[in-house]
Structures are given as C-alpha cells and as structure tokens.
Chain A
Amino acid sequence: MNIIVCLKQVPATTQVRIDPQTNNLIREGIESIINPYDTYALEEGVRLRERFGGKVTAVSMGPPQAESALREAISLGADEAVLLCDRAFAGSDTLATAYTLARAMNKLGDYDLIICGRQTLDGDTGQVGPELSQMLDVPCVAYVSQIEDVADGALRARRMVEDGYEVIESPLPAVITVVKEISTPRLPSLRGIARSKSAAIPVWGAGDLALEPEKTGLAGSPTRVINVYSPQRTCQGEILEGDPAEQVECLIGRLKDAGLI
C-alpha cells in the first residue's frame, strides 16, 4: 500500500501575530513544529504500512527550512520525503497549495491513499485535503477517526460528525483527512533519527511540477485577506458571588426579572 502523507510546518503556538501591513502571519522567531493534526496523519500512515506493507512518503510544501519537518517525519517512520519549495509558490492560498500538491501527487504517481491532517494550526481552514481530492478526481473522506479495514481496493473508515460518527466505504485511491482521535503519535526511534539525518530529500520546484504560472502562488490564489482583527466582544458573562444558596437566590431573581420563569 503506497501512502502519501501531507504535512506542513507551522509555528509552535496558536498565539500568532499578524503583520499589519501584509495581513500575513509573522513566523520569525517562533519555533516551528509539524502541524499537530499532520502528526496523526503520519502516525496512521505508518501504522497502515506496518499492517499492510508498502511505503509512506511524506510531502510538504514550504520554505527551505520545512526540510527539517520532513526529516522529523522520517525519524517517526516515513520511508521517503519530498519538499515542494520554490519562490513561485509564495503567497499560495489553499487553492494554489492544493494545485501544487496535486501536481506533486501526480508526479509521485502510484498512490493508494493520501492522508492529511484535518486542518492546520496556523491557517485553520481545513480546505486543502478536500480541494486536493477534487483536483486528483478521487474520493475524499474528511474527519476520519478510525480506519476499520482496507481490503479489495477499498477502505472502510469512521468519520466524525457533529453528533456521532459515520462509517464510510470508499474505493482507493482516496484522500482522507484525520482527527486527533485516530491515533497517538509515537516518539522517534534512534534508528529512525539516524536514517532521517542521512536521507536524501528531493526538492521539487515549479519547473519540476510543470505548473501553470496563473494557477501557482499568488497569481493562482483568489483569496484576498482584506483585514484581520479580533472580534468585538458584544456580550459578557457574569459570575454570581456568594455561597451556593445565595447564588441560587440571585439567579432565580434575575430570571424572574427577565420574565423567563
């Protein structure tokens, strides 16, 4: 079973600052990690390989330093890794990112399953996985919490929905996005770390992927960030003081005043 895991290097915090000029995330001076949801994707990929054989290829699109995230992925069990890196990719929104990833998937070819995290810690859109499946014209199962079985060219998976879960059967190849309930990521191993240090990680640019310029990077990104702001607080909670009896009395009074009881 050939598995591709998409992963992104993100700042190790949710307290990101926004550049007021460009409305982009400020990444300088913040430690980078593999997007946590992508670590679940990687773990599931490695576990599937352990069950069914094959190989796991980790793919990341990002700046040159994203290579360290791919080396970490190898230390955690990925067999190979490819970095998609080119100045032409700068400014990609989810559509251009999915386009670039899709071309990389086609270049890799011969995949059975593509696994993505449900969303990233920084962008938080959750769009790249589903967009990628559309561009590759394969099914997408989003928010997967468990892969029950893989057999006869199909997978059966549980996906989280708001009030429970659905069991979906999908032909392969397919794209799935995973939630954190799917697994507990393992720690790296010493032999994995040694392998990750010596692994050759090819870097593919716009030319290698034969990308059309108008679909790439900023030019291929219809999204425009107009403004980024914290929402105004329009209502505020109130904490009632006193012992429980007093609090209950106060609460009942308020509810009566409001005509609710």
Chain B
Amino acid sequence: MEYFLTEEQQTIKGLARKIAEERVLPVRAELDEREEFPRAIVKDLADADMFRVFIPEQYEGLGGGCLELCLVVEELSRICGGVATTYAVNALGCYTLIEYGSEEQKQKYLPDIAAGKKLAAFAITEATAGSDVSGIKTTAEKVEGGYLLNGSKQFITNAPEADIYAVIVLTDKTKGPRGASTIIVEKGTPGFSFGKKEKKMGIRASSTGELVFRNCLVPEENLIGRAGAGFIQAMRLFDRSRPGIAAQAVGIAQGALEAAVDYAQQRVQFGQPIITLPVVQDMLAEMAIQVEAARALTYAAARTVDSGARNLTEAAAGAKVFASDVAVKVTADAVQVCGGTGYMRDFPVEKMMRDAKVTQIYEGTNQILRNAIAMELRKRKGRTV
C-alpha cells in the first residue's frame, strides 16, 4: 500500500532492510539458540547511522521522528525481533532525556548514543511494580553530593549491555507516584551492579537483566527535569514509544507471512502446492489483511506522535494493542500453514511466534492499555473530532 513516505524515509527503510537481510539473517538462528547479545550487529547499525535516526540534529543525530524509528524497527523485526528490541530500547532510554533533559545532559550523552558508542536503556519495572507503577520501591534519597539509590529493577532490556540507564526512582516515597523521578545512572557507578540475566521465551538475542542499587551515589545533575515528574515523564515516554512496539509486531508478522507464503508455494501435497488449496488461501489472505491493517494503524499512530498532538494515549496504545494481537495471531497461523516443518526450530516461524508474544506484554500489557483507551473514550464520550 502507498504510505506516502518521503525519499529520506524510504532510504532509511531500505537501508534497514539491507542490514537486516545481509547482516542479521545469516546469524539470527544462532543468536536465538545461544541467547547471544548481537554486538557485531550493533556495530553495523552504528556504522550505518541507524542510532542517529531518533536523535535531534544538534546532538549529531538525523532528527527523525517516531515514524522513522518505526520504519527501522519494522525492517529489523521482519528478520529478527530480538535484534529490533536491542535497537528500539536505545530510543526508549533517550526519549525522556531528549524531551526533558538539560542542554548539558543532552550534550553529555546524546552524541555518544547517536554514534552507537554507548547504548541506552530504560528502567521502571520492579518485582512489585508492573502495570501498577505505584508499586515502585527503589528510592533515591537526597544527600550531600547527590542522590543515594537503593533498590532493584527487573526485566530491564539491554541490561547489562547498556552504558546509560534512565531509571525511575522515588525521590519522595511519601508521595507515591508523585514522588517519582527519572535519574540517569551510568554503568560503573559504585553501588550499581547487575543481578540475574533472564532466560526468555522469545526475543532471545536481546539481553534482559536486573539492576541492583546499594547505596549508589549519583550526582544531582543526573536528575532529568524536576523531582517528582518521573511518573508523568514515563507515561509521556510510553505514549511516544508504543508505536515502536507496534512496528516491531508488524515486522515480526510480516516476516511470518512471507515465510508462510513461500512455504505454501513450495510444499506439494495431493499433487499440488498447498497454496492452491482454498483453506490455505483463506488463511494467508486473512494474515495479509491483518498485517496491512496493523501497519496502517501503526504508521498513523507514529505520524500522530510526530504531529506534536498533545493527547497520544489512544493512538499509541491502540496501535500497540492491535498490532501485537495481529502478530501473535499471524505468527501462530504461519506455524500452522508450515505444519510439522513450521514447528521445528530449523525453520524460522516458530521463533517468530515466540518473539511475537512479548509485544502483547511489554510497554503496557494489552489489558492495561485497553483500560487506558476506555478511560479516554469516557472523556471524549466516544466522539471523533
């Protein structure tokens, strides 16, 4: 379908596809099998300027928006959802800094992230705080010389590989979510260590770990924006990052659709390729419709973010929920079309099915997001503009 991408957007998409096909495809099965962080691919992405895409031009980026990021994430996900996660989480780790950081903070961190010299990550989830962010227990006590951090964060993507962590902590634990703040913690800070490395169902090329803070002293200038704004910053961050998860889901589903169509054309049963069977045609057509609908909604949500619109919750959450549900359905159907072969780990669709599942879970479960959409619906009484 025609999405009216600019020449620059087409270039970004085309180069992301080239990297995915030439550098990721040959190693994706091995990365998945060994749960190996894709260092060499991160270098390729950096050399190709991919980490510059989402960084403003004055910090050595290319000044792209949400749509440009989505195009890269979609193309990487079409080949490997794990590699795409590693890439996309850099943007997640940067957004709060880009939007609320001081000039000094941006000059200090963003050029290195743009060049791919340093990786970023974002940390909010804790053992007691998933969908319910008010369950956060990690504290940052104001002391002489900065903030003293204590507590731990779990399921943090890009830990322990990332160098720069945007961490949501309680600077005032008496105020609940209104006492939350975003603080930058650099790898190597005394008192900051890494706990368990998680073993995951899918996106296994991406690294997921635990952050542990024990009397970790962080300078005061690492606070992003004002103290107490962390919760609002995080909600706004997710409004902008969720189209990226939608793009990941679209990419994974697209990869599965392509694999299923290729297989159906090659697989001969009853003397003919199975793509000639109406039952298979029906499945493939439905998959294609779903993927394209998810793509259209994702791009529209990304463009809404880039338009500077104030209230993004419905658009961003809607795209993420729809596309992730599509990805789970389409990848499962792709395994079905490919039959016994599809169920085997030598064939890529079972990995896609495993990779797809997380898109319904992270950056807000689809349940909590439907809840958020319903609240917005009540506010606007279901009317459109």
Question: Which B-chain residue is minimally distant from A192 (CB atoms)?
Answer: B49
Q: Kindly list chain B residues whose C-beta atoms are within 8 Å of the C-beta of A186.
A: 47
Q: In the complex the two chains form, what is the Cα distance from A188 to B19 in whole Å?
A: 9
CB distance from B380 to the nearest CB of A (A): 39
**How many pairs of A and B residues are in contact by the CB < 8 Å rule?**
32
Q: Kindly list chain A residues whose C-beta atoms are within 8 Å of the C-beta of B22.
A: 187
Q: In the complex the two chains form, what is the Cα distance from A191 to B12 in whole Å?
A: 10
Interface residues of A in 157-192 (CB under 8 A from B): 186-192
Q: Kindly list chain A residues whose C-beta atoms are within 8 Å of the C-beta of B50.
A: 190
Q: In the complex the two chains form, what is the Cα distance from A188 to B17 in whole Å?
A: 12
Interface residues of B in 40-76 (CB under 8 A from A): 44, 47-50, 52-53, 62
Question: Which A-chain residue is minimally distant from B22 (CB atoms)?
Answer: A187
Let me know if B15 is at the binding interface, CB within 8 A. Answer: yes
Let me know if B23 is at the binding interface, CB within 8 A. Answer: yes
Let me know if B108 is at the binding interface, CB within 8 A. Answer: no
Let me know if A193 is at the binding interface, CB within 8 A. Answer: yes
Q: In the complex the two chains form, what is the Cα distance from A186 to B23 in whole Å?
A: 11
Q: In the complex the two chains form, what is the Cα distance from A55 to B279 in whole Å?
A: 60
Per-residue interface assignment for chain B, residues 309 to 333, with 1 indicating a CB less than 8 Å from any chain A CB and 0 otherwise: 0000000000000000000000000
Interface size class of A (residues with CB under 8 A): under 10
CB distance from A199 to the nearest CB of B (A): 15
Let me know if B265 is at the binding interface, CB within 8 A. Answer: no
Main secondary structure of the interface of B (DSSP, over half): helix
Contact across chains for B44 and A190 when beta carbons are under 8 A apart: no
Q: Kindly list chain B residues whose C-beta atoms are within 8 Å of the C-beta of A189.
A: 47-49
Q: Kindly list chain B residues whose C-beta atoms are within 8 Å of the C-beta of A187.
A: 15, 18-19, 22-23, 44, 47-48
Nearest 9 interchain pairs by C-beta? A190-B49, A189-B49, A189-B48, A191-B49, A187-B48, A193-B11, A187-B19, A190-B62, A187-B18
Q: Kindly list chain B residues whose C-beta atoms are within 8 Å of the C-beta of A188.
A: 15, 18, 48
Q: In the complex the two chains form, what is the Cα distance from A188 to B11 in whole Å?
A: 11
CB distance from A224 to the nearest CB of B (A): 41
CB distance from A63 to the nearest CB of B (A): 24
Contact across chains for A190 and B12 when beta carbons are under 8 A apart: yes
Q: Kindly list chain A residues whose C-beta atoms are within 8 Å of the C-beta of B44.
A: 187
Interface centre among A187, A190, A191, A194 (most CB of B within 10 A): A190
Q: Kindly list chain A residues whose C-beta atoms are within 8 Å of the C-beta of B11.
A: 190, 193-194
CB distance from A77 to the nearest CB of B (A): 10
Q: In the complex the two chains form, what is the Cα distance from A192 to B11 in whole Å?
A: 11
Question: Which B-chain residue is minimally distant from A190 (CB atoms)?
Answer: B49
Q: Kindly list chain B residues whose C-beta atoms are within 8 Å of the C-beta of A192.
A: 49
CB distance from A183 to the nearest CB of B (A): 14
A-B contact pairs, 17 of them (CB 8 A): A187-B18, A187-B23, A187-B47, A187-B48, A188-B48, A189-B47, A189-B48, A190-B15, A190-B49, A190-B52, A190-B62, A191-B49, A191-B52, A192-B49, A193-B11, A193-B15, A194-B8
Q: In the complex the two chains form, what is the Cα distance from A192 to B19 in whole Å?
A: 15
Contact across chains for A190 and B53 when beta carbons are under 8 A apart: yes
Per-residue interface assignment for chain B, residues 1 to 28, with 1 indicating a CB less than 8 Å from any chain A CB and 0 otherwise: 0000000100110010011001100000
CB distance from A61 to the nearest CB of B (A): 27
Q: Kindly list chain B residues whose C-beta atoms are within 8 Å of the C-beta of A193.
A: 11, 15
CB distance from B43 to the nearest CB of A (A): 10
CB distance from B80 to the nearest CB of A (A): 16
Q: Kindly list chain A residues whose C-beta atoms are within 8 Å of the C-beta of B23.
A: 187
Q: In the complex the two chains form, what is the Cα distance from A192 to B50 in whole Å?
A: 12
Q: In the complex the two chains form, what is the Cα distance from A122 to B18 in whole Å?
A: 25
Q: Kindly list chain B residues whose C-beta atoms are within 8 Å of the C-beta of A191.
A: 49, 52, 62
CB distance from B58 to the nearest CB of A (A): 15
Per-residue interface assignment for chain A, residues 110 to 147, with 1 indicating a CB less than 8 Å from any chain B CB and 0 otherwise: 00000000000000000000000000000000000000
CB distance from A42 to the nearest CB of B (A): 15
Q: Kindly list chain A residues whose C-beta atoms are within 8 Å of the C-beta of B18.
A: 187-188
Q: In the complex the two chains form, what is the Cα distance from A56 to B62 in whole Å?
A: 25
CB distance from A27 to the nearest CB of B (A): 24
Q: In the complex the two chains form, what is the Cα distance from A192 to B49 in whole Å?
A: 9
Per-residue interface assignment for chain B, residues 238 to 250, with 1 indicating a CB less than 8 Å from any chain A CB and 0 otherwise: 0000000000000
Q: In the complex the two chains form, what is the Cα distance from A190 to B72 in whole Å?
A: 12
Question: Which A-chain residue is minimally distant from B44 (CB atoms)?
Answer: A187
CB distance from B112 to the nearest CB of A (A): 16
Interface residues of A in 183-214 (CB under 8 A from B): 186-194
Interface centre among B8, B48, B53 (most CB of A within 10 A): B48
Q: Kindly list chain A residues whose C-beta atoms are within 8 Å of the C-beta of B53.
A: 190
CB distance from B371 to the nearest CB of A (A): 39
CB distance from A106 to the nearest CB of B (A): 35
Q: Kindly list chain B residues whose C-beta atoms are within 8 Å of the C-beta of A194.
A: 8, 11
Q: In the complex the two chains form, what is the Cα distance from A193 to B50 in whole Å?
A: 12
- Given A187-B18, A188-B15, A190-B52, 19 further pairs, Cβ under 8 A: A186-B47, A187-B15, A187-B19, A187-B23, A187-B44, A188-B18, A189-B48, A189-B49, A190-B11, A190-B12, A190-B15, A190-B48, A190-B50, A190-B53, A190-B62, A191-B49, A191-B62, A192-B49, A194-B8
